[in-house]
Amino acid sequence: MITGSLGLLFVCLSHRKDQPLPTLSIVAAIFSCIGIVIGTALTLYIMITMTLPMMTDSAVFDQYVELYRNMYGIDMREYIGDWSSLPKITY
């Protein structure tokens, strides 16, 4: 998403008032927009597929707790507090 944004910035900076936008700049703008859309879609997909099962299924949450304990050496519940006090997500 950052490189797509930089690509759009460079396209805007390369535009001159009295001259049409070069073809290469138009192509770069199109690919930058495609990159931003794909990056945003992947980010949302990963967030949804990782967060929702953890919040709704206690077995998945326990797997994340064990993984966190193995990686960082402390219990995840101690680090983020007691999740049972958080409101449950219902669908």
The HSE-up count of residue 44 (CA atoms within 13 Å, CB side) is 6
Quick one: which of 10, 22, 89 has its CA closest to 53? 89
Query: pLDDT of 25-68, one tens digit each?
Result: 889 899 999 999 999 999 999 888 888 887 788 888 888 888 88
Cβ neighbours of residue 82 closer than 8 Å, sequence gap 6 or more: none
pTM beyond 0.85: the answer is no
- 55 CB burial (10 A radius; 0-12, 13-18, 19+): middle
DSSP assignment letter at 22: P
Q: What is the residue extent of each domain of the chain?
A: 2-84
Q: How many residues can be counted in the chain?
A: 91
